[in-house]
Amino acid sequence: MKIGIVCPYSWDVPGGVQFHIRDLAEHLIRLGHEVSVLAPADDDTPLPPYVVSAGRAVPVPYNGSVARLNFGFLSAARVRRWLHEGVFDVIHIHEPASPSLGLLACWAAQGPIVATFHTSNPRSRAMIAAYPILQPALEKISARIAVSEYARRTLVEHLGGDAVVIPNGVDVDFFASAEPKAEWGGRTLGFIGRIDEPRKGLPVLMAAFPEIARECPDVRLLVAGRGDEEEAVASLPPELRSRVEFLGMVSDEDKARLLRSVDVYVAPNTGGESFGIILVEALSAGAAVLASDLDAFAQVLDQGAAGELFANEDAGALAAAAVALLRDPARRAELSARGSAHVRRFDWSTVGADILAVYETVTDGASAVAADERAPLRTRLGLTRDTSA
């Protein structure tokens, strides 16, 4: 199958959507499919052979963060050329409602279109206001996927229609087989995320850290991600700042080794999360996970069975839960075992098969028998037109 995938966000700035698209493309290629990904990227960015640059992106405030998007006449021309040269059996657009390549591709594409919605934002006035502009493009979508129930709810409430929920995927074995790093061991907490993005919650963790250090005097905090490191520790007493080690941007291999090394992985995110891919990666690595009780995080962690939850933005609750886990190796081992079993449902062997089933459902030329067998799935997918003829 020839598959075209559209990435809305800049390829050279790491993020959950980009990682999902990268891993999906590589999974499909390993299965023998021909895949091309169209993504914004700076001219000097080294790209995998399956990625086509649509030009440089510009930073735009979006969903409580800053997204690097690509939009305009030049981008539209590149989208049309990519579609013309690709002759794809199916186009898979991510975040088609964002002002980026996905919307441009929706306008220009012909044939079966699958759209994945990642955003969870139950009060998006911008999405409501933009609906009249988005509607003609969105009506061309053959099937809709949401990465979580909360992303599906945002779609239903703001844009209408429905979607099948297929979570983000992870190569579970990649994280499970990583070698721990000795210097990252000991009594350690881990955090991975953009340091200077408040919704990732590092300030909450920093507010909790003095209490954690008071109760566990040998504890260290390992922080991976880009941002202003001096500003991040400015709120800590000077004597504690050396207990926070900043690793900067880390490779996928080092991320897996970090997650395998720490006693507790902490996800103190405060909002704007529709899934939580880092939680799945941490579970895959066998880490005991402590996360804020966002709805999306609670779902990933099986309502607390696969990881501990604390009250969102409550530094005291975070500290108490972290101290309890650091002092209780048996509880950490129990969470690790439960998480390792629970996370298998997010492996690409399962998620990739579900996405391929959607592609096959919307691809023209499917036999009438197969179409009949997939009728229940078609209802779940929120199909907007009949593609079985």
User: If you classify domain 2-169+347-381 with CATH, what class do you get?
Assistant: alpha beta
pLDDT for the residue 127? 52
What DSSP line would sit under 242-291, residue for residue? GGEEEEES--HHHHHHHHHH-SEEEE---S--SS-HHHHHHHHTT-EEEE
Which tokens is 33 given?
């499919």
- Tell me what percent of the residues of the chain surpass a pLDDT of 70: 86
Lowest mean pLDDT among 129-143, 147-161, 189-203: 129-143
pLDDT for the residue 119? 81
Domain ranges of the chain: 2-169+347-381, 172-345
pLDDT tens digits, residue range 16-32? 899 999 999 999 999 99
Q: Does residue 294 or residue 388 have the better pLDDT?
A: 294
| Beta bridge partners of residue 51, listed in sequence order | 37
Q: Does residue 43 or residue 375 have the better pLDDT?
A: 43
What average pLDDT score do residues 33-61 get? 86
What average pLDDT score do residues 106-127 get? 79
Residue 135 predicted with pLDDT over 50: yes
pTM as predicted: 0.83
pLDDT for the residue 386? 41
Q: Does residue 13 or residue 112 have the better pLDDT?
A: 112
Cα Rg of the chain (Å, integer): 21
Residue 46 predicted with pLDDT over 80: yes
Q: What angle do CA 37, 137, 114 make, to 5 degrees?
A: 45
Nearest Cα residue to 141 out of 165, 167, 117: 117
Banded pLDDT at 120 (limits 50, 70, 90):
confident
Burial (CB < 10 A; 0-12, 13-18, 19+), residue 218, is exposed
Whole-number average pLDDT of the chain:
88
What average pLDDT score do residues 249-266 get? 97
pLDDT for the residue 23? 95
**Which segment, 9-13, 14-18, 62-66, 249-253, is predicted with the most confidence on average?**
249-253
Banded pLDDT at 132 (limits 50, 70, 90):
low
Yes or no: say if 78 and 51 are a contact pair by the CB < 8 Å rule. Answer: no
Which tokens is 236 given?
């800590």
Chain center to CA of 264: 21
What average pLDDT score do residues 93-102 get? 86
pLDDT for the residue 366? 41
Residue 259 predicted with pLDDT over 50: yes
- Tell me what percent of the residues of the chain surpass a pLDDT of 90: 67
Residue 140 predicted with pLDDT over 80: yes
The domain 172-345 is placed in CATH, from the list 3.40.50.720, 3.90.1150.10, 3.30.930.10, 3.40.50.2000, at 3.40.50.2000
Q: Does residue 213 or residue 367 have the better pLDDT?
A: 213
Residue 210 predicted with pLDDT over 70: yes
Yes or no: say if 36 and 78 are a contact pair by the CB < 8 Å rule. Answer: no
Give the span between the Cα atoms of 119 and 161, in whole angstroms.
16
Banded pLDDT at 279 (limits 50, 70, 90):
very high
Residue 126 predicted with pLDDT over 80: no
CATH fold match for the domains 2-169+347-381 and 172-345: yes
Give the span between the Cα atoms of 5 and 8, in whole angstroms.
10
Yes or no: say if 243 and 223 are a contact pair by the CB < 8 Å rule. Answer: no
Q: Does residue 284 or residue 71 have the better pLDDT?
A: 284
Residue 125 predicted with pLDDT over 60: no
What DSSP line would sit under 101-148, residue for residue? HHHHHHHH--S-EEEEE----TT-HHHHHHHHHHHHHHTT-SEEEESS
pLDDT for the residue 387? 39
Residue 371 predicted with pLDDT over 50: no
pLDDT for the residue 42? 82
Residue 240 predicted with pLDDT over 90: yes
